[in-house]
Amino acid sequence: MLTISNISKSFPGVRALDDVSVDFKNGEIHALLGENGAGKSTLMKIIGGVYKPDTGKMFFDEKELVLNSYIDALSKEISMVNQELQVLPSFSVAENIMLDKMITFRKTPILNWKEINLVAKKYLDMVDLDVPPTKLIGELSVAQKQMIEIAKSLASKSKILLLDEPTSAISETEAEKLFDILRDLKKKGIIILFVTHKLEEVFKICDKVTVLRDGRKIDTKMINEVEKQDLVKMMIGREEKIESFRNKNIDKSILTMEVKNIVKYKKCEDVSFKLYKGEVLGFYGLVGSGRTELARLIIGEDKKQSGDVLINGKKIKIRSIADGLYKYRIGYVTENRKEEGLLLNSTILNNIGITIWPKIAGRIFRFINGQKERKHAKKMVQQLDIKATSINQLVQKLSGGNQQKVSIAKWLGADCDIIIFDEPTIGVDIGAKEYIHKLIFDLANVQGKSIILISSDMPEIIKLANRIYVFRDKKIIGEIEEVNKDEDSYNIVSKELGNYYT
Ligand X SMILES: Nc1ncnc2c1ncn2[C@@H]1O[C@H](COP(=O)(O)OP(=O)(O)OP(=O)(O)O)[C@@H](O)[C@H]1O
Please report, as ranges, the residues that interact with ligand X according to CB under 6 A.
11, 14, 16, 34, 36-42, 83, 387, 397-402
Least CB distance from residue 83 to Mg ion, whole Å? 5
**42 is in the binding site of which of ligand X, Mg ion, none (Cβ under 5 to 8 A by kind)?**
ligand X
SS3 420: strand
**133 is in the binding site of which of Mg ion, ligand X, none (Cβ under 5 to 8 A by kind)?**
none
Beta bridge partners of 260: 308
156 is a contact residue toward Mg ion (CB under 5 A): no
SS3 246: coil
- The Cα–Cα gap between 398 and 105 comes to 34
CA angle 388, 230, 46 (to 5 degrees): 45
Query: How many CB atoms lie under 10 A from the CB of residue 435?
Result: 18
Decide if 337 contacts 407 (C-beta within 8 A): yes
Least CB distance from residue 368 to ligand X, whole Å? 27
Q: Which is nearer to ligand X, 42 or 425 (CB)?
A: 42
Contacts of 107 (CB under 8 A, 6+ apart): none
Least CB distance from residue 20 to ligand X, whole Å? 11
83 is a contact residue toward Mg ion (CB under 5 A): yes
Contacts of 147 (CB under 8 A, 6+ apart): 127, 129, 170, 174
**49 is in the binding site of which of Mg ion, ligand X, none (Cβ under 5 to 8 A by kind)?**
none
Contacts of 478 (CB under 8 A, 6+ apart): 469, 470, 500
Q: Which is nearer to Mg ion, 43 or 140 (CB)?
A: 43
Q: Which is nearer to ligand X, 36 or 355 (CB)?
A: 36
Q: Is 112 exposed, middle or buried (0-12, 13-18, 19+ CB in 10 A)?
A: exposed
**167 is in the binding site of which of ligand X, Mg ion, none (Cβ under 5 to 8 A by kind)?**
none
SS3 405: helix
Which residue is at the shortest CB distance from Mg ion? 41
Q: Which is nearer to Mg ion, 211 or 318 (CB)?
A: 211
Q: Which is nearer to Mg ion, 165 or 460 (CB)?
A: 165
Query: How many CB atoms lie under 10 A from the CB of residue 175?
Result: 19
Please give the C-alpha separations between residue 404 and each of 70, 335, 342, 417, 434, in angstroms, as whole numbers.
Answer: 26, 9, 9, 22, 14
Decide if 417 contacts 251 (C-beta within 8 A): no
Q: Which is nearer to Mg ion, 196 or 484 (CB)?
A: 196
Stated length of the chain = 502
- The Cα–Cα gap between 457 and 468 comes to 13
Least CB distance from residue 154 to ligand X, whole Å? 22
Q: How many CA atoms lie within 13 A of 18 on its CB side?
A: 12
Least CB distance from residue 68 to ligand X, whole Å? 18
82 is a contact residue toward Mg ion (CB under 5 A): no
Q: Which stretch binds Mg ion (CB under 5 A): 36-44, 99-107, 213-221, 405-413?
A: 36-44
Least CB distance from residue 399 to ligand X, whole Å? 3
Number of shown-chain residues binding Mg ion (CB under 5 A): 5
Least CB distance from residue 208 to ligand X, whole Å? 18
Q: Hey, which residues between 381 and 400 contact Mg ion (CB under 5 A)?
A: 399-400
**39 is in the binding site of which of Mg ion, ligand X, none (Cβ under 5 to 8 A by kind)?**
ligand X
Q: Which is nearer to ligand X, 14 or 161 (CB)?
A: 14
144 is a contact residue toward Mg ion (CB under 5 A): no
Q: Which is nearer to ligand X, 39 or 166 (CB)?
A: 39
The greatest distance separating any two alpha carbons of the chain, rounded to the nearest whole angstrom, comes to: 72
Which residue is at the shortest CB distance from ligand X? 401
Q: Which is nearer to ligand X, 39 or 353 (CB)?
A: 39
Least CB distance from residue 493 to Mg ion, whole Å? 32
Least CB distance from residue 319 to ligand X, whole Å? 34
Query: How many CB atoms lie under 10 A from the CB of residue 181?
Result: 17
Among 7, 41, 146, 330, binds Mg ion (CB under 5 A): 41
Residues lying near Mg ion in the complex (CB under 5 A): 40-41, 83, 399-400
